[in-house]
Amino acid sequence: MILHLGAGMPRCTMVDQDQAGVAVGSKVLKTLGTHHGTIFGLQAHARRPGRLQVGDLVTLHRPTL
């Protein structure tokens, strides 16, 4: 399997929407961003499909220019 990693994916702001049982005006996203930043993943596109499982060895390669 070969994946091309793209840009970061910002966290969805829906976590700050009012929900039953959650205090109105909670700042979940702000708290998460303060501790972990607001990028929570990466875009990835399969260059060569395959299967990846927990425990598999993964190697990162920087593209050569």
Q: pLDDT (tens digit, 9 = 90+) per residue, 46-61?
A: 999 999 899 999 998 8
User: Distance (Å, rounded) from C-alpha 33 to C-alpha 18?
Assistant: 18
Check whether 29 has a pLDDT greater than 80. Answer: no
Backbone φ, ψ for residue 62 (5° rounding): -85, 140
Check whether 10 has a pLDDT greater than 70. Answer: yes
Rg (CA), the chain: 17
> Is this structure's pTM higher than 0.85?
no
Band the pLDDT of 13: cuts 50, 70, 90. low
Instruction: Indicate the domain borders of the chain.
Output: 2-48
Do 2 and 46 form a contact (C-beta atoms < 8 A)? yes
Name the residue among 40, 15, 45, 42 with its Cα closest to residue 30. Answer: 15
Do 5 and 44 form a contact (C-beta atoms < 8 A)? yes
